[in-house]
Amino acid sequence: MESYFEFFYSSPNFEEIDAKSIRYITDKIIRKSDAALAVVLGGDTQTFEMKMEKWDELTHKLSSISGIIFLLAHTSSNKEVYNQANQSIQVLQRYGNGLSLNEELYKSLKKYSQSDDARWLKGYKKKFIKETIREFERNGFALVQQDRDTLRNIKDQLSDLANEFSRNIAEHQDQIIISEKDIEGLPEDYKNRHKMEDGMYKITLDSPSYRPFMRYAKNEKWRKELYIKYLNKGNPKNTDILIKTIALRNQMANLLGYKTYAQYVIEERMAKTPNTVWNFEEELTNKVKPKAEKDYKELLSITEGKNELKSWETGFYNNILLEKNYNLNAEEVKQYFELNNIFKGIFKICKDLFGIDFVKMYHHSVWHEDVIVYEVRKKHSVIGKMYLDLYPRANKYSHAACFGLVSGRETPRGYQTPHTALVCNFPPSTPNSPSLLSHEQVTTVFHEFGHGLHQLLTKSPLAAFAGTSVVRDFVEVPSQLFENWAWDYDILKEFALHHKTEEVLPKELFDKMIAARNVGSGLFTLQQILYGTYDLTLHDKYNPLTDESPNELFNRLQRQITLTAPVEGTDFPSAFGHLMGYAAGYYGYLWAKVYAEDMFSVFEKEGLLNPKVGKKYVDKVLSKGGSEEEMSQIKNFLGREPKQEAFLKSLGL
């Protein structure tokens, strides 16, 4: 990683990274950051370049090193590297907390913000100054020194607790071992991947193992047991961590003069206040509930006499419903979605729509042999790099996410090319079958790729605003927008080929997929509302020291909001990783979907591969990052005020 310091266009040599080099690089970036800080603080030159750009450069280099180490902390299969990366992330987060509470730095930047030079600035420069000073002041510079010391201690504790919470989920290993008679209903390729030498089957909590089992396994006893195990990831350790975290967040908010942590967080988001979010959740619940009740009755109608559904039954009966009432077989659909073809299709979309090429890099340094690297080019110029880490393994991040490694930024050597990594957990290929994805997993690929495009197509002059550096309730707009390309037949027929015959996905089969698209959409949306409401309640209306336990609160809200009862013996909050990174922000998924669907309506009207619309989308949204207000980006792309109609239509309402 040594060369990574001096020339950020390059990539680290992952094969050479060991625990010792991570410790060394952590110490070195802190020393270099201290030296860079002295430059920001020193001298009397009050210019944007000498103050704000130098500050952005410091944080850019620090976050780039942190990004690589953070990735290794979530993906490395080398136990020593994994452990050291997790330790170093804590060190770097504490260092970052110290910078955010550095009074001398605050005073220096504040002084510049009041200078004649700063007063005449406009656009992204003015926005950067305003938001930088605002963030320092939100970090407690109105407080006396004793309270600031307390605040720093709270932030350090919160960083450590968040890392431990996430690590407990990633490291949680559990499974069921079942016999041939208990695996009835599962596809043959699934059985082949899970069969052990003694003829028994090991089913784990990894997504490619867990989700198909819950959908296809006829044995209800084992579905229930696996479901309970899945909803106990991180338990019991994470219960205490969550209680401590919520208490510390409350203390931090109160110290800063806010009534609740949600008030502190949402103040800087598009929603502005918790009340706006509460109203959004309530109004959406009222609109969705009738559809959810209809979905529930439709599921019950095929259960042969049941009068209620358990949580471990909904996926199973939903699959039967699709086959029985919609003549749609998910396994038949899956045969047309081979993983490599999916990415070829996405690359073609990007070529046609945005004029960019993804060129596979051979013999490139990676952190695991499964990882593939692509160089992103536009008119023969390299504009970025994307890593794909697509299969599950021990201690790896267990869901799907887009990890930003290096942000784009203008430098004296030219524009810093952004680097990003898609980290997923799809079923690996076997000697008998390639990696085949359900259509739901296909939309996951498009979702994470949408985040990747946001990072790769940035043109922000400052790293602070590059790519996905936007307010949290906007960040899911590009990702959810791009999901829609996975639902267009003209798009799919370019890459949805049967893995054996290369037959194109039949139009008749696609029509069945469309007919069934909103089956269960009401129930799914209520579940999302539950997650958002629970997250918001924890951070706006909950005292962990005097109120019910986090799990009791979740169960109570589940009874109020959804149509399925909580399952005894589960502890969902312990497995809810978003409570760390998305605190008081989970509502943002549905909030952002309103804008994503509205913006997609422009592509529907003008053409999903219309390069003019693609260019407008890049120019008005993707390239901007956070350099312009997010609502302005939306309006500039739409050419009007946003509406909810497309969102409600997408839910089948």
Q: Please give the C-alpha separations between residue 597 and each of 266, 408, 477, 600, 625, in angstroms, as whole numbers.
A: 23, 27, 9, 5, 19
Distance CA 252, CA 266 (A): 15
Distance CA 496, CA 569 (A): 41
**Which of the four pLDDT bands, split at 50, 70 and 90, describes residue 358?**
very high
Distance CA 495, CA 90 (A): 43
Q: Does residue 7 carry a pLDDT above 80?
A: no
- Predicted local confidence at residue 141, as pLDDT: 87
Tens of pLDDT, residue by residue over 562-571, are 999 999 999 9
Tens of pLDDT, residue by residue over 93-139, are 999 999 999 999 999 999 999 999 999 999 999 999 999 999 999 99
In a domain, 560, yes or no: yes
Tens of pLDDT, residue by residue over 57-67, are 999 999 999 99
Q: Catalytic: which of 313, 331, 448, 597?
A: 448
Distance CA 62, CA 432 (A): 45
Q: Please give the C-alpha separations between residue 53 and each of 417, 461, 539, in angstroms, as whole numbers.
A: 17, 9, 35
* Same domain as 394, residue 259: no
Cis peptide preceding 208, ω within 30 of 0: no
* Same domain as 282, residue 417: no
Q: Please give the C-alpha separations between residue 634 and each of 507, 595, 639, in angstroms, as whole numbers.
A: 34, 7, 8
DSSP single-letter state for residue 560: H
* Same domain as 359, residue 221: no
**The three-state (H, E, C) secondary structure of 57-110, written as one string:** HHHHHHHHHHHHHHHHHHHCCCHHHHHHHHHHHHHHHHHHHHHHCCHHHHHHHH
Distance CA 358, CA 502 (A): 23
* Same domain as 377, residue 260: no
Burial annotation 207-219 (CB, 10 A radius, 16+ → b, else e): bbbbbbbbbbbeb
* Same domain as 39, residue 77: yes
Question: What's the mean pLDDT in 12-28?
Answer: 94
In a domain, 153, yes or no: no
pTM confidence score = 0.95
* Same domain as 352, residue 443: yes
What are the beta bridge partners of residue 376?
358, 384
Tokens of 334: 């899956």
Tens of pLDDT, residue by residue over 432-463, are 889 999 999 999 999 999 999 999 999 999 99
| Residue 235, Cβ density class (10 Å: 0-12 exposed, 13-18 middle, ≥19 buried) | buried
Distance CA 170, CA 264 (A): 29
Q: Look up the domain containing 559 and give its range.
A: 237-328+520-586
Choosing from 187, 202, 230, the residue where a domain stops is 230
* Same domain as 534, residue 408: no
- Predicted local confidence at residue 5, as pLDDT: 45
What is the tally of structural domains in the chain? 4
**Averaged pLDDT score across all residues of the chain:** 95
Give the three-class secondary structure for 437: coil
Tens of pLDDT, residue by residue over 303-338, are 988 999 999 999 999 999 999 999 999 999 999 999
* Same domain as 498, residue 360: yes
Choosing from 86, 119, 138, the residue where a domain stops is 138
In a domain, 149, yes or no: no
What are the beta bridge partners of residue 382?
377
Question: What's the mean pLDDT in 246-260?
Answer: 97
CATH number at residue 645: 1.10.1370.40
* Same domain as 467, residue 597: yes
CATH number at residue 580: 1.10.1370.10
In a domain, 395, yes or no: yes
* Same domain as 530, residue 492: no
Give the three-class secondary structure for 566: coil
Burial annotation 563-579 (CB, 10 A radius, 16+ → b, else e): bbebbeebbbbbbbbeb
Tens of pLDDT, residue by residue over 629-641, are 999 999 999 999 9
Contact at 8 Å (CB) between 163 and 90? yes
**Which of the four pLDDT bands, split at 50, 70 and 90, describes residue 2?**
low
Neighbours of 439 (CB within 10 A): 22
Choosing from 569, 586, 603, the residue where a domain stops is 586
In a domain, 19, yes or no: yes
* Same domain as 526, residue 424: no
| Residue 3, Cβ density class (10 Å: 0-12 exposed, 13-18 middle, ≥19 buried) | exposed
Residues in the chain: 653
Q: Can 448 be counted among the known catalytic residues? A: yes
- Residues in contact with 549: Cβ distance below 8 Å, sequence separation at least 6, in sequence order: 239, 243
Distance CA 29, CA 39 (A): 15
* Same domain as 423, residue 503: yes
